[in-house]
Chain A
Amino acid sequence: MGVVVEGFREAFRLLVTLNDEVLGITLRTIQVSGSSTLISVLLGIPAGAVVALNRFFGRAFLIDLINFGMGLAPVVVGLAVWLCFTRYGPLGMLNLLYTPTAMIVAQTIIAFPVVTGLTLASIQSVNPKMRLQMLSLGATRGQYLLLLIWEARLGILAAVIAGFGRVISEVGASMMVGGNVRGYTRVLTTATVMEIGKGQFELAMALSILLLLLNFFVVSVMSRLQQRGKI
């Protein structure tokens, strides 16, 4: 119990004194996870919509793949990305191993299926007659897509929240492809694991609290947006 209390005190102290290193780590966490979420949203929502609305060869298999991807173990993704970016790996010439960019790549791969799959499901759950109604109005492809996304917005926002949640709490892949390098690729999750390994439990607790606060703040903003559509 003492660890938790001390942890809160330490977290408070770190924030109030604007501890440089911790602020840097927090900012980096936001940047890395924020970018990956953004990219997976920009790619995932259209992808989910396209799969939801079109019939094509292999569609069922693709949907299986997407749903499978939602539960893909992050550490496996980390290993795969690491193998690609390692110096003598296929993408080694990009010099991306142990960079924030590599972390963004790994996290995007993790979040993308989540956003796509949940968007897919939300759009499929829109009343199929609604489709006909919109077509009867004479909506173009683009207008129709936007209208559907609007109708499915509750589920889609949930998809974004889920995607974000998945990457901000991720540690295995981030550790592997980022390397937890001080001042460069260290984020809240990897720093927490490191401090636990060192036995620095109060600091680890403090970092965890910061992570939870960050997570809560971002998610509640998105949540508010989502629920506002419900008034």
Chain B
Amino acid sequence: MNSVLEARDLRLVLKGRNIFAIDQFTLQSGEVMALVGPNGAGKSSLLLTLALLQTPTQGTILFKGQTVSRDNLFVLRRQMALVFQEALLLDTTVRRNITIALRIRGVLGHEAAVRTDRWLERFGILDLARRQARQLSGGEAQRASLARAFALEPEVLFLDEPFSSLDYPTRKVLLRDLGGVLQEMGMTAVFVTHDPTEIPYLATSVGVLHNGRIIKSGKVQEVLGTQLPGREEFQLWPD
């Protein structure tokens, strides 16, 4: 039982609406799960809840066997990292964005510098280290956001539609790069997307969310089935 994340009876009700209702959820170490579904299916809310940033209306979450409660919330958050659709960088240089994030997590000095350089390099933006964050293009900013997330060396990585605001060519390159890194590091991750064509690049498993419930889940091959990669049309959920 190498589960990094487990959730039972997870429900979220906001303003009278049922956002999601998940009976059982498991994420194994090294698993990269794609959470797909149409807009409004509750994917982002589920992601935020699993990332411990949204309190569920009911249910239990276990992180590496530990039950999440108010007391350990803070500590456990620091073992995760989150990448949003918008890069959400601080208004300073690229390098400082990473070092500040590291500093928040108590990583300073030499160690911080080493990690920063390594990940800037890995995502191909070492030459942008001293550029102001607000001067970056969309793709560059997302690379910075990813570099930041990886530099934190999290146990779990969460990505919320990280590439949906980028143009197709940029997206393709980034998907390949990210896919490579995820494999290399054996990183455990959950990423949300509404574009199933991204799945084969990054994921090892898939969860299909529809109207707040998981209607299909399993390994990539199982769920995509005969809908092989290369085809632009996937039908994973009813129209």
Contact = CB atoms under 8 A, between A and B. Distances in A.
Contacts of A127: 86, 88
Interface bracket on B: 20 to 34
A195 interface: no
Contacts of A138: 74, 77-78, 104-105
A225 to B, nearest CB: 15
Nearest to A132: B53
Given A138-B104, A143-B104, A231-B132, A133 B88 contact: yes
B53 A137 contact: no
Contacts of B101: 137
Nearest to B106: A138
Interface bracket on A: 10 to 19
Interface string A118-153: 000000000101101101111110010001001101
Given A129-B86, A150-B90, A136 B51 contact: yes
Contacts of B84: 129, 132-133
A136 B86 contact: no
Contacts of B88: 127, 129-130, 133
B90 A151 contact: yes
Contacts of A2: none
A136 B132 contact: no
B21 interface: no
A199 interface: no
A191 to B, nearest CB: 43
Interface of B: 48, 51, 53, 74, 77-78, 80-82, 84, 86, 88, 90-92, 100-101, 104-105, 132, 152, 158
23 contacts: A127-B86, A127-B88, A129-B84, A129-B86, A129-B88, A132-B48, A136-B80, A137-B81, A137-B104, A137-B152, A138-B77, A138-B78, A138-B104, A138-B105, A140-B104, A143-B104, A147-B90, A147-B100, A150-B90, A150-B92, A151-B90, A151-B91, A229-B91
Given A129-B84, A138-B78, A153-B91, 13 more contacts: A127-B86, A127-B88, A133-B88, A135-B77, A136-B53, A136-B81, A137-B105, A138-B77, A138-B104, A139-B104, A150-B90, A150-B92, A151-B90
